[in-house]
């Protein structure tokens, strides 16, 4: 191994008719060659190196120390073959040295200079480029969090199986982690991510080389079981997998229980394309969700009819929002001792295609799921602003106006900022009370620390809705900053006959009083419930059908003077049966 001599260069130059290359120029060429970042070598017909620059020397030394170096004889023979063939060759060489991996792009070119057959080789380190390409490949085809294949991989594999005419049967299972949002909210996203990693390990346990488990979105997975001999084989495997998930997950000192709802479709029985199989497995999974979660269902045709009905509801809901076919009913919060209206709650209603009013239970959860709830909430606010004169005329200019905000919205800082700005722009933000369920406070969301100060800054009140049926505890209540607490009607129904509910009610009442929160009893429907609250508690305010059903402002008679309205004392009311719906003719006192 040596560098070119001056005579070597001169001989080569003579062949090209350049005889006047000075020794100084030759030294410059030699020094430049040594400084090149690419490795350059020249070998003669015997395979001996007659030139090796510094970069090439480092690469050859690296090759000699690689974990599995190529035998010198093999390398020598390969170079001689290339020299004799006279054809250029370009190839990638991979060298592993411990934990490090190097990739070189090497070009071999046989040439003739000054009558000598030589092999000129250049080698460039492309390790960083290859690492970046590998990263791009993994990001496209493998999930960054769990390392599982992505949707593209399993879709490609299924399509390949379908194209294979010799393929007989396989199963595609759609898996969804139950209540993952609550786990994320309560424990935090870091633990939620760690749970997905551990859960994917359990789901992937005992898979065959021909099976694929893929993470296709946040908490959704697809499982390809191939091949299968019978439905029972699939059912048995998934049952064992479900049993494996019943053991708790221990993550950062937290003991977490998780389950999955699984829908299964079979090829070719339930579809002859990837999309059909995936969609039918998804439909079967939703059947499980609707029936209590944590189990498995195989697709059948009745599920498809249900899915079509659900799709029709979705389309109707989207169209109703587009056409603004929502309206508001208002239910009063009444002082049970003075009979005055303290405030009203705006309850959204949907007019269907035939003009029939639909209660929120038929569409609110779907609106949340489809991401339409934000727009719906802004529609409610717009309806209130448009009707504020009639609201003031009916219920009084000081009555608070409550708007319900879903738990998902309450933890969304961007939405709540926009909603707070819209409330402030009404010109009467201090009239508003935001009603949120208790999990907005007790889970690890942004509400208490970031969103609540925004609402407080514009004078909006805070009400805890449906207290007692979520994640509440009295200790959690002590940490909540709210103005009003609404006790769920499940505690109020037949309260006069239920000593245990009476005890719970007294405890909530006492703590709320100590914390300066107003207590609202929801769902008063009988005279006996009302008289118990009046006689045995200090609760002042209530809502319920005993006083009035929710009313639509367009049903009122604006020509009737409010000052002339009167009402007999409710305390003297003998029974529930004689009550009438709320109207301007028999309104509450303000």
C-alpha angle 30-31-36 in degrees, rounded to nearest 5 = 100
What is the tens place of the pLDDT at every residue in 485-538?
998 888 899 999 999 889 888 888 888 888 889 999 999 999 999 999 999 999
C-alpha angle 332-447-507 in degrees, rounded to nearest 5 = 60
Q: Across 160-314, where does the E strand assignment appear?
A: 170-177, 212-217, 220-225, 249-251, 254-256, 260-267, 296-298
How many CB atoms lie under 10 A from the CB of residue 381?
A: 19
In angstroms, what is the C-alpha Rg of the chain? 38
DSSP letter, residue 587: P
**pLDDT for the residue 70:** 59
Tell me which residues of the chain have a pLDDT lower than 50: 1-19, 557-590
Secondary structure class of 412 (helix, strand, coil): coil
Distance CA 54, CA 509 (A): 84
Cross-sheet strand order for the sheet of 89-97: 49-52, 39-43, 116-125, 100-113, 89-97
Q: Three-class SS string for 259-271?
A: CEEEEEEEECCCC
**Domains of the chain (ranges plus CATH)?**
36-129 (3.30.450.20), 142-299 (3.30.70.270), 314-555 (3.20.20.450)
Contacting residues for 474 by C-beta, under 8 A, at least 6 apart = 507, 508, 511
**End-to-end Cα, the chain, rounded Å:** 105
Secondary structure class of 524 (helix, strand, coil): coil
Give the DSSP letter string of 136-154. HHHHHHB-TTT--B-HHHH
Residue 71: HSE in the Cβ half-sphere, 13 Å Cα cutoff: 4
**pLDDT for the residue 470:** 58
**pLDDT for the residue 127:** 87
Q: Is 266 within 8 Å of 161 (Cβ atoms)?
A: no
Q: Pick from 245, 241, 271: which is nearest to 256 by CA?
A: 245
Cross-sheet strand order for the sheet of 296-298: 212-217, 220-225, 170-177, 260-267, 296-298
Look up residue 273 and give its two tokens. Answer: 């394309």
**pLDDT for the residue 515:** 84
């Amino acid at each position: 191994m040596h560098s070119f001599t001056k005579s070597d260069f001169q001989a080569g130059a003579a062949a090209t008719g350049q005889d006047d290359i000075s020794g100084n120029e030759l030294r410059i060429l030699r020094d430049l060659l040594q400084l090149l970042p690419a490795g350059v070598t020249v070998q003669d017909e015997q395979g001996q190196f007659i030139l090796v620059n510094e970069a090439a020397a480092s690469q050859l030394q690296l090759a000699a120390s690689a974990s599995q170096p190529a035998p010198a004889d093999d390398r020598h023979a390969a170079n001689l073959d290339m020299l004799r063939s006279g054809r250029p060759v370009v190839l990638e060489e991979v060298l592993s040295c411990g934990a490090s991996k190097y990739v070189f792009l090497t070009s071999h070119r046989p040439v003739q200079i000054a009558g000598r057959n030589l092999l000129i080789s250049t080698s460039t380190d492309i390790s960083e480029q290859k690492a970046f390409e590998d990263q791009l490949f993994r990001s496209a085809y493998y999930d960054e969090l769990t390392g599982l294949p992505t949707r593209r991989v399993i879709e490609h594999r299924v399509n390949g199986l379908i194209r294979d005419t010799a393929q007989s049967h396989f199963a595609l299972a759609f898996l969804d982690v139950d209540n993952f949002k609550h786990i994320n909210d309560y424990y935090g996203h870091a633990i939620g991510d760690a749970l997905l990693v551990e859960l994917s390990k359990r789901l992937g346990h005992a898979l065959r080389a021909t099976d694929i488990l893929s993470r296709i979105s946040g908490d959704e997975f697809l499982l390809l079981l191939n091949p299968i001999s019978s439905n029972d084989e699939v059912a048995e495997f998934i049952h064992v997998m479900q049993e494996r998930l019943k053991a708790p997950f221990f993550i950062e000192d937290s003991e977490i229980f998780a389950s999955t709802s699984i829908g299964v479709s079979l090829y070719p029985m339930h579809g002859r394309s990837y999309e059909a199989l995936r969609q039918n497995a998804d439909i079967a999974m939703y059947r499980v969700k609707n029936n209590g979660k944590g189990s498995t269902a195989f697709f059948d045709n009745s599920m498809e009819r249900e899915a079509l009905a659900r799709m029709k509801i979705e389309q109707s809901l989207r169209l109703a929002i587009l056409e603004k076919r929502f309206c508001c009913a208002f239910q009063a919060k009444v002082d049970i001792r003075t009979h005055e209206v303290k405030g009203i709650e705006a309850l959204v209603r949907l007019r269907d295609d035939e003009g029939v009013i639909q209660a929120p239970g038929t569409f609110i959860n779907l609106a949340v799921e489809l991401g339409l709830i934000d727009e719906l909430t802004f529609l409610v606010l717009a309806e209130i602003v448009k009707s504020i004169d009639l609201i003031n005329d009916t219920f009084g200019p000081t009555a608070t106006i409550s708007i319900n905000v879903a738990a998902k919205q309450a933890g969304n800082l961007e939405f709540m900022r926009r909603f707070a700005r819209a409330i402030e722009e009404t010109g009467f933000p201090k009239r508003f009370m935001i009603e949120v369920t208790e999990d907005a406070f007790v889970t690890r969301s942004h509400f208490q620390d970031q969103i609540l100060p925004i609402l407080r800054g514009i004078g909006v009140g805070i009400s805890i809705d449906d207290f007692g049926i979520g994640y509440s505890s009295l200790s959690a209540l002590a940490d909540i900053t709210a103005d009003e607490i609404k006790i769920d009607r499940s505690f109020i129904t037949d309260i006069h006959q239920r000593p245990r509910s009476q005890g719970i009610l007294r405890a909530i009442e006492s703590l709320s009083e100590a914390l300066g929160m107003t207590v609202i009893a929801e769902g008063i429907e009988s005279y006996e419930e009302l008289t118990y609250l009046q006689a045995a508690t200090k609760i002042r305010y209530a809502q319920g059908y005993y006083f009035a059903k929710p009313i639509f402002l367009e049903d009122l008679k604006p020509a009737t003077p409010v000052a002339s309205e009167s009402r007999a004392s409710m305390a003297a009311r003998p029974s529930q049966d004689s009550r009438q719906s709320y109207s301007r003719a028999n309104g509450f006192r303000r």
